Amino acid sequence: MSVMNEPTMALSATGLRKSYGDKVVLDGIDLNVAEGTIFSLLGPNGAGKTTTVQILSTLVTADHGDVRVAGHDPRHDPDGVRAAIGVTGQFSAVDNLLTGQENLILMADLHRLGRREGRRRAAELLERFDLTDAAAKAAATYSGGMRRRLDLAMTLVGRPRVIFLDEPTTGLDPRSRRSMWQIIRELVAGGATVFLTTQYLEEADQLADRVAVLDHGRLVAEGTPDELKRLIPGGHIRLSFTGVESLDAAARVLGEVTRDDEALTLRVPSDGSVESLRTLLDRLSSIELSSLSVHTPDLDDVFLALTGHSQKEAVR
Amino acid sequence: MSTLSLAARDSATMLRRNLRHALRYPSMSLSTAAMPIIFMLLFVYVFGSTLGAGIGGADYVDYVAPGIILMTAAAGAISTAVSVCVDMTEGIVARFRTMAISRVSLLTGHVVGSLIQTMFGMALVIGVAVLIGFRPSAGPVAWVEATGVLLMLTLALTWLAVAFGLVAKRPETASNLPLPLTLLPFLGSGFVPTDSMPAGVRQFAEYQPFTPLTETLRGLLMGTPIGHHGLIAVAWCAAIALGGYLWAKRLFNRAG
């Protein structure tokens, strides 16, 4: 029974397992996503992100596990789930032969919105996704960013309560990526729940209320981006020196530091604030420094700390 | 609304989508009619006088037109298989599968769309045949019956073509699978009477579906005797339609 002050779950999964032949893709994962939040499933290629989305969106049946999406069980009531969700997959799901407007009206017809309401909704979404000028052009002629926006607009025609976005910004240029982030934030502001997969740590950090880190079909961590960052050693300042003499001198002054004789660097634990930087530089006033950099922990550090391999390595 | 009327509504939406594709890219629909028309011109104008003399001096276009019209159904199957296959390789089908819509509507949309396109192609072929001297003796009732025969065959081959489109991984394969169907009118009574063929071919010709269909259509349009061919033609169409439908349904559900 849910308690009043506990958030309602838009989506939950317990002990989710899926294998294809001998290959275990999901090895018992648990997920809970509160209504009206952005949840990000973070992991490298092949971690099982897409399979998770496919199971939650009724495209694939799990071998084991209990799933509820918007209160419905995908195994026994797939149409109940489908009526509540919208899915934008990794690969473009637009009809290339139709125009942008026709694609949206096709969705409106399949949602049985009626002719007038369908046209109104299509016009509204074209406007919102900055596609009005391209409305009468075939989707085949759209750029990558426009196609992604049309794809998402089509997903929104039926006003889904739970929206799945499988790597929504993969392959987009930085500007299109930022505009997609803005759109995703607006979706949640409008009351929807977003389940987002990404292999970009920055994306999860920017958007998600909660992040789960998926590696080889298992969840290796879950929490808010800040909680995950707290799991790893704090930030540091990296000092580079021109020679061994100055490195030695600085190490003597600072005491507790990590030194790298080959690179001629010292790592000094720090919160990265201006005050701590000033203090540090004051103490080193007589020593010749070649450069200095401030390092704050990001989710890449989390990934490295949790899995023993960096995300970039895993992605190749 | 009942499940059935929702299915009908979704199928109508999918049909509109397919017809819009056909109107926007008419080359595929026109190629359905182009192949039979080219064969007709070739056989009437290049081989026609010799073949006509061989079948007893009658106007050869009157003999060959029914087989050519049936060939349009086989040509239509190629375009159906390709458009189904292309559709399945596009991401939009995955989107349809995550929506609360009638699942079979995607296929029924293709089937009804192809039916309309192929019947349109047949009308075009008949028009060209009449232009080059085809003079059917059929009255209005016989024309209605002939249309029924053509619809029946087209429906049967379209379901089979949908299954071909689903089983093929690439559009190239999808366009090759129905190709043998377009050769069947040659190996039947479409171009020359079967009793003029060598023994082995003749047996094949007499028992393959296009011979009873050709004889039935020729009988209806030209007034030649139909005999038992009518019943056999209906049975063939029913069997192909059912087989194609069940195969397509199984392939489509498995793909999900």
Smallest CA–CA distance from A78 into chain B, residue: B100
Give the A window 141-170 contacts with B, CB below 8 Å: 154-155, 158
Q: What is the pLDDT of residue A65?
A: 94
Q: What is the arithmetic mean of pLDDT over B108-135?
A: 95
| B91/chain A closest Cα distance in angstroms | 4
Chain B residues whose CB is inside 8 A of the A104 CB are none
pLDDT tops 90 at residue B48: no
Mean pLDDT for all residues in chain A: 87
Given a cut of 70, whether residue A288 has pLDDT beyond it is yes
Contact between B212 and B232 under an 8 Å Cβ cutoff? The reply is yes
Answer yes or no: do A97 and B25 touch at CB < 8 A. Answer: yes
Check B99 against A82: CB less than 8 A apart.
Answer: yes
Give strand ranges (E) for chain B.
Answer: none
Structural contact between residues A105 and A119, judged by C-beta atoms closer than 8 angstroms:
yes
Residue B213 pLDDT greater than 70, yes or no: yes
Percent of chain A having pLDDT more than 70?
A: 92
Find the mean pLDDT for residues B128-138: 94
Which residue's structure tokens are 């020593």?
Answer: A287
pLDDT at A231 over 80: no
| Whole-number Å distance between alpha carbons of A16 and A30 | 7
Contact A191, A221 (CB under 8 A): no
CB-CB contact of A59 with A31 (8 Å) = no
A303 pLDDT more than 80: no
Task: Classify domain A9-94+142-230 by CATH number.
Answer: 3.40.50.300
Q: What's the pTM? A: 0.81
A48: left (phi over 0), alpha (psi -120 to 50) or beta: left
The tens digit of pLDDT for each residue in A127-185 reads 999 999 999 999 999 998 899 999 999 999 999 999 999 999 888 888 888 988 999 99
B95 → closest Cβ in A79, A93, A96:
A93
Span(s) in chain A for CATH 3.40.50.300: 9-94+142-230
When pLDDT is averaged across residues A257-285 and rounded to a whole number, the result is: 83
Task: Describe the strand order of the beta sheet including A236-241 as a list of residue ranges.
Answer: A258-260, A265-269, A236-241, A289-295
**What would the DSSP string read from start to end of A188-214?**
HHTT-EEEEEES-HHHHHHH-SEEEEE
- Give the fold, CATH level 3, of A236-296: Alpha-Beta Plaits (3.30.70)
Q: Residue type for B157, please?
A: L
Confidence of residue A233 (pLDDT cuts 50, 70, 90): low
Q: What is the mean pLDDT of residues A199-210?
A: 89
What does DSSP say about strands A258-260 and A265-269: parallel, antiparallel, or unpaired?
A: antiparallel
Domain locations in chain B as residue ranges: 3-255
Confidence band (pLDDT; 50, 70, 90) for B82? very high
- Range with the poorest average pLDDT among A218-222, B111-115, B238-242: A218-222
Q: Mean of the per-residue pLDDT values for chain B?
A: 91
Tell me what pLDDT residue A266 has.
Answer: 87
Per-residue pLDDT tens over the stretch B52-67: 888 876 789 999 999 9
Please check the confidence at residue B29 and state whether its pLDDT lies above 50: yes
Kindly state whether A92 is in contact with chain B, defined as any CB-CB distance less than 8 angstroms.
yes
Task: List the beta strands (DSSP E) in chain A.
Answer: 9-20, 23-34, 38-42, 64-69, 85-88, 162-166, 193-198, 210-215, 218-223, 236-241, 258-260, 265-269, 289-295
**ipTM field:** 0.84
Report which of A81, A64, A48, A65 is spatially closest to residue A13, judged by C-alpha positions.
Answer: A65
